[in-house]
Structure 1
Amino acid sequence: MNDGTVILPWLVIRQDDNGNRYRVGRYATKAEAQRIADSLDDRGKEQLYWVERLNQNGAR
C-alpha cells in the first residue's frame, strides 16, 4: 500500500422487502462490517443485512 490506497474488501449489503439489494458500505475488517450489519439489523425494520467479501479482482 505504498500508493496510499486503502483496501476495503468487506461489504455490508441490504435487501429490502421487495428483493432489491444495495451496498450500504465497505469496511476494512469483517468484524467492523459485521458490527455495522448487526446494528442496522437491530433497528427492527424488514430489511435483511449481511456481510460479503470482495475477491481480489473486485467481484463478490
Structure 2
Amino acid sequence: MNDGGPVLPWLVIRQDDNGNRYRVGRYATQGEAQHIADTLDGKGHKQLYWVERIGQTTR
C-alpha cells in the first residue's frame, strides 16, 4: 500500500560504545544519508555511524 508519502529508503544508524544501535534518520538518497553520517562521524565522538538501505542486512 502506498500512502503517497515520500520514499525514504536510506537510514543512518548510530552505534554507541555499549553496542546499542539507534536510527538517526531516514533519507531519500544514499548520498544524502552518507553526507549526514560523515558529518556526524566527523564531530569526534566515539560512536560509529553508517548508512544502510531499508531491508538490507545489518552489521
TM-score by length of 2: 0.86
How many residues are matched? Answer: 56
Whole-angstrom CA distance in 1 between matches of 2:3 and 2:21: 32
Deviations, residues 6-34 of structure 1 (Å, cap 9, x unaligned): 10000000000000000000000000000
- How far is 1:3 from its partner? 4.7
> Who is 1:5 aligned against?
5
Q: Percent identity between the aligned chains?
A: 73
Aligned partner letter, 1:49: Y
List runs of 5+ in structure 2 lacking aligned partners.
none
List runs of 5+ in structure 1 lacking aligned partners.
none
Aligned partner letter, 1:40: L
TM-score by length of 1: 0.85
Question: Structure 1 runs of 4+ off > 3 angstroms?
Answer: none
